[in-house]
Amino acid sequence: MHPTRVIGLMSGTSVDGIDAALVEIVGTDLDLKVELLAGKTYPYPAALREKILAICGGAPISMAELAAIDDAIALVFAQAAQNIQVGYPPATLIGSHGQTVYHRPPGFSISENSVSGNILPSHQSPFPYPQSLGYSLQLGRGALISRLTGITTISNFRVADIAVGGHGAPLVPRVDAYLLSHPQEARCIQNVGGIGNVTYLPPRRDDWLNQILAWDTGPGNSLLDLAVQYFSNGAKSYDENGSWAASGSPCYPLVEKWLSQDYFRLPPPKSTGRELFGVTYLHQCLQDCQAYQLSPADVLATITELTAASIVNSYHAFLPRMPKCLLLCGGGSQNLYLKHRLELLLKSVKVLTTDEAGVSAEFKEAIAFAILAYWRQLGLPGNLPVATGADQEVVLGEVHPVTGDK
Ligand SMILES: Nc1ncnc2c1ncn2[C@@H]1O[C@H](COP(=O)(O)OP(=O)(O)OP(=O)(O)O)[C@@H](O)[C@H]1O
Ligand SMILES: CC(=O)N[C@H]1[C@@H]2OC[C@@H](O2)[C@@H](O)[C@@H]1O[C@H](C)C(=O)O
């Protein structure tokens, strides 16, 4: 069987840049195999990053600006796709996640969403209006990426799952299941990006697929990155290796207070984003810290502890049993202090990275969107209803074929 060469493109909630992965894929599920030929992160131009972070933080934006940013993002994504395949035979498919700028889990009605005036029709609608559907907006339109690269592009992966009642996130669990499950061992795959998310994989026997669990654990690096920027007056964007936090001490009463927040108690399926764990949340944390006269290093240690404890507590609360092993991925897997805290809190659970199980910890999400695009082309479902809360499996992604003239 000839492998299919696919490019996966992803920019996550850290908004640090575009992760691009050029992969070769064979098989479809238990026989799925993926080889990473090249992986690279292309930082966003500073002005574009600032604009995206402002929108994510709720800054008002005109429709004209939205259109311009949508295309600016598509352009840098297309450039990333062109660059990653230099020196290789061209890919035949791109899976582009785009940039999330807004995410609303299901369960809110339109009237709860800061829309002034009643915008719903006053007459009786012939349809039962799905008041509580989620909404998730990823910018960087696939049609433009396809046009610029000359490669069929799949984008907008989250909307089909949302339309059948799901959160549209996390979408990586089905990929985790086929790439990282183990025949005898229960594992957790923990991504620590801007937001953290876990996939629990029981040993691969009997009804294992139906026993997978997954959810967003809460903040990954989002609060930590914002705090580092604040304390360094913008000179640093993250706590490299966690060494700044490691020089302080966590304030446990504050960690306890923050952990009592509703999101952490909510049972899965659940998803979140910078709308909750963003600038406003950090300001509240900084205000709470004042009462304890914490140094910047102590604040960073306390926020890192929140990330670690929210992850571990959610396992105790929502998993049928603790896993044998935890495989970390995402940028936070390089934070040695966070890893150390997780090891201490998890006691007998082995903490490794997905690299040690053969899947790049840095590029796993980009690889996942290459696989989701490949499944889309084969007409195979990409979501895992137990992870997203959808009422059925669905094929994910909108196809933007190449139009002929480039
Ligand atoms: N050497 C390092 N030490 C500590 N933290 C690091 C290091 N390298 C990267 N990070 C952290 O990882 C973050 C980027 O992670 P990643 O690219 O996985 O996030 P993302 O994909 O944007 O987020 P998400 O998974 O939520 O969509 C950086 O913002 C930084 O906080
Ligand atoms: C709406 C959105 O972009 N969600 C991201 C975010 O970043 C991490 C976590 O929250 C996860 O649920 C999701 O991304 C990964 C790739 C996913 O869908 O599995």
Domains of the chain: 4-168+365-400 (3.30.420.40), 177-357 (3.30.420.40)
Ligand 2 pocket test, candidate residues 191, 388, 396, most atoms within 8 A of CB: 191
What are the residues facing 226 on neighbouring strands? Answer: none
| pLDDT value, residue 332 | 98
Please, what is the angle between helix 279-290 and helix 252-259, to 10°? Answer: 140
- Cβ(390)–Cβ(381) under 8 Å? no
Residue 186's φ and ψ, nearest 5 degrees, are -80, 135
The tokens describing 303, both together, are 């926020």
What are the residues facing 42 on neighbouring strands? Answer: 18
The tokens describing 118, both together, are 């009643």
Distance CA 249, CA 299 (A): 8
Residue 392: how many other CB atoms lie within 10 Å: 11
Residue 22: which residues within 8 A CB-CB, separation 6 or more?
5, 6, 7, 36, 37, 38, 39, 84, 85, 88, 91
- Residue ranges for the chain with pLDDT beneath 50: 406
| Pocket of ligand 1 from Cβ distances under 6 Å | 12-14, 16, 191, 193-195, 220-221, 225, 238-242, 330-332, 334-335, 365
Distance CA 2, CA 225 (A): 42
Residue nearest to ligand 1 atom 12, measured at CA: 331
Cut 0.90: pTM above it: yes
For residue 96, give the amino acid letter. Answer: S
User: Which numbered atom of ligand 1 lies nearest the CA of 362?
Assistant: 18
DSSP string, 85-99: TTTSPPPSEEEEEEE
Residue 122: which residues within 8 A CB-CB, separation 6 or more?
none
Write the pLDDT tens digit of every residue in 116-142.
667 766 666 666 556 689 999 999 999
User: Which numbered atom of ligand 2 lies nearest the CA of 103?
Assistant: 1
212 marked as binding residue: no
Ligand nearest to the CA of 269: 2
- Cβ(374)–Cβ(93) under 8 Å? yes
Residue nearest to ligand 2 atom 8, measured at CA: 195
Burial classification of residue 54, based on how many CB atoms lie within 10 Å of its CB (0-12 exposed, 13-18 middle, 19 or more buried): middle
Pairing between β-strand 153-155 and β-strand 187-192 as defined by DSSP bridges: unpaired
Ligand nearest to the CA of 192: 1
Distance CA 230, CA 270 (A): 29
Residue nearest to ligand 2 atom 13, measured at CA: 170
CA of 218 to the centre of ligand 2 (A): 11
Residue nearest to ligand 2 atom 7, measured at CA: 195
Residue 25's φ and ψ, nearest 5 degrees, are -120, 135
168 marked as binding residue: no
For residue 109, give the amino acid letter. Answer: S
* CA atoms within a 13 Å half-sphere pointing along the CA-CB vector of 167: 21
Write the pLDDT tens digit of every residue in 49-106.
999 999 999 999 999 999 999 999 999 999 999 999 999 999 999 999 999 999 999 9
| Pocket of ligand 2 from Cβ distances under 6 Å | 12-13, 100, 103, 136, 169-172, 191, 193, 195, 197, 216, 271, 273, 365
| pLDDT value, residue 1 | 76
Residue nearest to ligand 2 atom 15, measured at CA: 170
CA 25 vs CA 6, 187, 398: distances in Å: 7, 23, 20
C-alpha angle 103/109/111, rounded to 5°?
Answer: 105
Ligand nearest to the CA of 198: 2
| pLDDT value, residue 129 | 58
Residue 232's φ and ψ, nearest 5 degrees, are -100, 10
18 marked as binding residue: yes
Is residue 211 classed as helix, strand or coil in its secondary structure? helix
114 marked as binding residue: no
Instruction: Encode 311-324: b = buried (16+ Cβ within 10 Å), e = exposed.
Output: bbbbbeebbeebbe
CA of 2 to the centre of ligand 1 (A): 34
Is residue 326 classed as helix, strand or coil in its secondary structure? strand
Distance CA 52, CA 158 (A): 19
ipTM of the complex: 0.98
User: Which numbered atom of ligand 2 lies nearest the CA of 138?
Assistant: 3
13 marked as binding residue: yes
- Cβ(157)–Cβ(397) under 8 Å? yes
Distance CA 108, CA 79 (A): 37
| pLDDT value, residue 130 | 61
Burial classification of residue 229, based on how many CB atoms lie within 10 Å of its CB (0-12 exposed, 13-18 middle, 19 or more buried): middle
Q: How far apart are the first and last CA of the chain?
A: 30
Asked, as a colleague might, if the bond just before 45 is cis with ω within 30 of 0, I would say no
For residue 19, give the amino acid letter. Answer: D
Ligand nearest to the CA of 166: 2
- Cβ(192)–Cβ(307) under 8 Å? yes
Pairing between β-strand 187-192 and β-strand 195-201 as defined by DSSP bridges: antiparallel
